Every structure is written in structure tokens, then in C-alpha cells.
Structure 1
Amino acid sequence: MDQHLAVFVKVVEKENFSKAAEELHMTQPAVSQYIRTLEESIGTRLLERSNKYVRLNQAGEIVYHHAKEILALYTKMQSLVDDLTNKASGPLAIGASYTFGEYILPHIIARMQREYPQISPSIKIQNTKEIIELVKMHQLDIGIIEGFFKEDTLNSEVVSEDNMLIVAPLGHHLLTEKWEKRMSDLAEETWILREEGSGTREAAENLFRMSEFTPKKILEFGSTQLIKESVEAGLGISLLSQWAIEKEITNGYMGKIDVQGLPFKRNFSILTHTSYQTKALKTFIGSLRGYLA
């Protein structure tokens, strides 16, 4: 039945029987037969078909959601069995929030690949909220998020501390004026922040609550790189990870504002399921700890 689910998922994602057949190296009639057999087994139609599209109906939505989880668990089961006799190898699905994924993760992957080339990592970069959901659904073997996940559904462990700094464009009056600044002195500034659900946005809101003030104007942007470019262009100030701004500060593209109580600290945490871990996952976690240490 796992093959029927795999064919079903591919048809849904390609929205086309012919394209799914081509990618699966099957004939279109064979794909159609797999779908018919699955629908007969489930007891209802799962797809709405026309000459132009293939779409999920309500029952199909339920089956698709669980099929993805079942296939991910099947892959993990096979990997665990393989691990009994083999070295660390095989696929490894890694997810990370933007700051960690864009500025730290590539270095960890490069280190691991030099020592364990048989591991085949795939990377998904999303905001913290989305990474948590993907780990819950078994779409990821491990998630690396900003902050800490407090529910019992997943195993969460803090692996590193991150310093958050306030940055401004060169020539900004808060950089040139040499007096001791408080967070309240920044209330009139335009703040450029990440979207809701982002760990970086959560850190900024925690800082505002601790400092008992709310910025008069907030611009919400969907990526750290866009925020950095906007700060450099003079659009406003922002709270960003030291990892994300290291090159810009070193090269003099922007400056950090010295404020009482900074740097503001947050954590990076890893999320995994509590069941057995593959050798590939254990190897990656070891490489991650080694790099962060």
C-alpha cells in the first residue's frame, strides 16, 4: 500500500497524471490503476479530475495529509533497519528557521559532508512556526528553531545561545551621537521586523515587552536579507542576530547601536521525535554540536 500512497502523493503534487507518470517512470494507465485501487481501498473518490486539472476533494485532503506522514515514517523505518549494519548514510531531511538556516547551517553541512559523504541532506528553510509543524508531521528528521518549543509532542533541546543586536545605517544619528541610550530612546524610530511566526520577530517583541515600549512605526518584511538591505538603504533600524550581520558590521555597511541591556539573548533549539534516531541524524547532531562549540 505504500506504493499506492507514493503514487497518489506524486499525482497530487504534480496536479497531472501524465507528469506524475513521467517522474515515477511509469505509464499513465498504470498510475491511473494505482489511484483507482487506492480509492477502492479507502472507499471513496479522492481526486476531482478534468481535462485541465487534478484536484483533491475533502476526503483526498485527509488522505494526502496522512499519506505524507506515513511515507516519511516508512522511510525512517527503512533507514533505522539499514543502520543496524551500515555506516551513516542515506537521506536526511533538515529544517531550520531563517537565521540559522541561512547563516550557520551551510557551514555545518559542509563539515559533515567532508567526513560523511554518503549522507544526502535536503534542506528546508521556513520560519520557526512552519518548521515546528513540519517536524510534527514527520516531513523533517530534525528542525532547528529560534527560541524553545515547550510542548510534549516533540523533544526540544537548547544547543546554542544567540546575541541579538540593534543595527542602523551608517551616519544614523543614534550611531553618531555619543550618549548612553535606553530602549525608550528608540521608540520614535522606524523598526523593520520579520513577519509573525518568525523567531526573530518573537525576539523583538519580547525585547519591547521587557523594555515596556512599543515602536511608533513598524515595517514588516519577509526575509532577513531584505531587512539588512533596507537598513543599509536608510529605511529604519532593526533587531537582528549577530550571525546575520557579522559581515555587514565587519565591512562597515551598517553599525550596531549601543543600548543599555544589550545584547538581547535568545536560544537556538533542535526539535526531534523521541523515537529512535538514524545514524545519519545522530551524525548531523554531532556535527552541529561540534561547530557551535
Structure 2
Amino acid sequence: MEQQLDVFVKVVELKNFSLAAKELHMTQPAVSQHIQMLERDMGAKLLERNNKFIRLTHTGDIVYYHAKEILGLYSRMKDLVEDAMHEARGKLLIGASYTFGEYILPHVIARLRDAYPSIQPSITIANTQEIVHLVKSYQLDVGIIEGDLHEPKLHTEPFAKDEMLLFISPKHPLSQKRNVSMRDLQDETWIVREIGSGTREAAEKLFDASQIRPEHMMEFGSNQVIKESVEAGLGITLLSKSAVRKEQKLGTLIALQIDGLPLVRNFSIITKPTKFQPRSVDVFLQLLRAEQ
């Protein structure tokens, strides 16, 4: 069954029997046979296929979703058995939201590689919502997200504080004002992250707490693009101090001094609740907790 699911997932993701056969080091008839056996076992047609396309049926979509989880669990079981017999080693699948992943995680990974060269980290950077999904579906061993999470299917551990400030260009008119309130920012253009991002969630909380609702907002899916936009004078933004260290040092971005800021949030570790963790995960978590 494990091989049938593996073949099925590969065909779905590559949308091609020949490519799947090549990647799996199998013949195309063997791939077709595994798909037919799986459809027979499921008692349902899983793929619509002709010479032009391969498409999941509704039942195929259900099988694909659960096949990813099953294969993730099977791989994790094998890794745990192997891991129990050796020192910390092997693949470590880490996911992080953008702020932590781009500005803090590389330094943690450098220390991990120095101390445990046999561990092979693989990094996924995405917004908080996507990292949560990947951990829940066993596609990541551990995730690091911005803010807190209330998800019964995951274990959440706040492990470090993150300070967030409002940043503007030194050429912005507000940079010359000593006393600035949130009310003064109502009519400014706010440059924000996309829905699903921890940084966007923090901005929304700030708007609610200040009882303002900006009419002009620009939305980007990258902290770097946001910083470039603010430097160019397009607006103001709320970002982590960790993400703006270089720009503050160079003087290309400055922080607005406003009552109620910095806004403090948590960085949190998320994992699947489990009795067993690979040693690679344990040593990585120890390094993360040292970030406090």
C-alpha cells in the first residue's frame, strides 16, 4: 500500500505518468498498474486521464490529501527508528514564517551545522498560515511562527519575544515631528503584509487597539519589498525590529516614537503532539530556546 500511495502522489504532483516513472525508477506500465491496484483497493476512480491531461476526481482528491499524511507518518516512523540507533543526524524539515525565517533562522542554522554536521536541514519559508498547514500535514518536523496559535492538533510553545515598531523613510514629513499619535497616521498609506501573515495580524491588532482603520493600504507578500517601498517614500509600515536592523544602522529607515509601541509579540514553536521526537528535532529546539 505504501508504494501504491507513493506512486499515486508522484503522478498527481507531476501530472504525467512518464515523468513519475522516470523519477521513481520504474516502467510506465508498472506505474499504471500501481494506480489501478490503488483504485481497486479504494473501490473508486481516482484519476481522470487522457492523452492531454491528468486530473483528480473528487475521491482522488480525498485520497491524495490523506496519502500525503500517511507517507509523512511512515517516513517519520522510519526516521525515528533509525535515529534511535545513532547520534543526531539525517534530514530535519524546518518551516518558518518570513520574519523569523529570513532574519533570525539563518544564524540558528549556522550554529546547528557547526555543532551537528550530520544533520541536514531543509528550510521552508512561508507565511504563518502555510507553515501551520505544513506542520499539521506532517510535511514539516517543526515550524516557527509569529504570534500565538490556538490549534488543538498542534503543540505550541512561545519561546522568544519580538518587538515591532512603525518605520518610515527619513524623508517622510512625519520624521520631523516630535509628537506623533496613531490618529495622525489614519490618513497615511500603510504598507502591509498579506492576510495569513503574522505581521499582518499584528498590524490589524494595532489598528483595532488604536481604533483607526486606514483608508489607504498597499499589500505585499515580502518584508523586503515592504522595506524598499517605505524607503522610497510610498508609506509607513509596522515591522519587527529584527527585520530592519541593517536599514536602521544605515539610516535608510527610522522608527517612529509613538505611545504604546513597541508592540511585543511571541515567536512560537509548533510541532505535532507526539511522544517521540527525532534527536535532530530535540537539538534544534534546544538551540531555538537559547534565542530567548
Normalising by structure 1, report the TM-score: 0.96
Deviation at 1:83, TM superposition (A): 2.1
In 2, are the aligned partners of 1:180 and 1:260 still within 8 Å (CA)? no
Deviation at 1:152, TM superposition (A): 2.0
Is the partner of 1:153 in helix, strand or coil?
A: coil
Q: Distance in 1 between matches of 2:2 and 2:224?
A: 41
- Match runs of 1:44-63 below 5 Å: 44-63=44-63
Structure-2 residue corresponding to 1:187:
186
Is the partner of 1:70 in helix, strand or coil?
A: helix
- Match runs of 1:12-27 below 5 Å: 12-27=12-27
Structure-2 residue corresponding to 1:287:
287
Structure-1 residue corresponding to 2:248:
249
Structure-1 residue corresponding to 2:163:
163
Q: Distance in 2 between matches of 1:9 and 1:122?
A: 21
In 2, are the aligned partners of 1:39 and 1:46 still within 8 Å (CA)? yes
Q: Structure 1 vs Structure 2: percent identity of aligned residues?
A: 56
Q: Distance in 1 between matches of 2:107 and 2:3?
A: 36
In 2, are the aligned partners of 1:189 and 1:215 still within 8 Å (CA)? yes
Deviation at 1:121, TM superposition (A): 1.7
Amino acid at match of 1:8: F
In 2, are the aligned partners of 1:17 and 1:31 still within 8 Å (CA)? yes
Q: Does 1:273 align with 2:290?
A: no
Is the partner of 1:66 in helix, strand or coil?
A: helix
Q: Distance in 1 between matches of 2:190 and 2:225?
A: 13
Q: Which segment is superposed worse, 157-166 or 112-121?
A: 112-121
**Which segments of 5 or more consecutive residues in structure 1 lack a partner in the other structure?**
none
Number of corresponding residues:
291
Deviation at 1:173, TM superposition (A): 1.4
Is the partner of 1:120 in helix, strand or coil?
A: strand
In 1, are the aligned partners of 2:171 and 2:233 still within 8 Å (CA)? no
Deviation at 1:244, TM superposition (A): 0.7
Q: Residue by residue, what CA displacement relative to the aligned partner does 1:169-205 show, whole Å, maximum 9, x if unpaired?
A: 121111122x222211211211000111110001011
Structure-2 residue corresponding to 1:11:
11
Is the partner of 2:230 in helix, strand or coil?
A: helix
Q: Distance in 2 between matches of 1:25 and 1:117?
A: 30
Structure-2 residue corresponding to 1:111:
111
Deviation at 1:159, TM superposition (A): 0.8
Structure-1 residue corresponding to 2:221:
222
Structure-2 residue corresponding to 1:129:
129
Q: Residue by residue, what CA displacement relative to the aligned partner does 1:220-269 show, whole Å, maximum 9, x if unpaired?
A: 11111111111011110000011111111111211111111211111110
In 2, are the aligned partners of 1:190 and 1:237 still within 8 Å (CA)? yes
Is the partner of 2:143 in helix, strand or coil?
A: strand
Q: Distance in 1 between matches of 2:37 and 2:15?
A: 19
Deviation at 1:151, TM superposition (A): 2.6
**Which segments of 5 or more consecutive residues in structure 2 lack a partner in the other structure?**
none
Structure-1 residue corresponding to 2:35:
35
Deviation at 1:273, TM superposition (A): 1.2
- Match runs of 1:138-157 below 5 Å: 138-157=138-157
Deviation at 1:96, TM superposition (A): 1.0
Deviation at 1:24, TM superposition (A): 1.1
Amino acid at match of 2:223: T
Q: Distance in 1 between matches of 2:255 and 2:55?
A: 50
Deviation at 1:129, TM superposition (A): 1.2
Structure-2 residue corresponding to 1:206:
205
In 1, are the aligned partners of 2:189 and 2:217 still within 8 Å (CA)? yes
Runs of 4 or more consecutive aligned structure 1 residues displaced over 4 Å after TM superposition: none
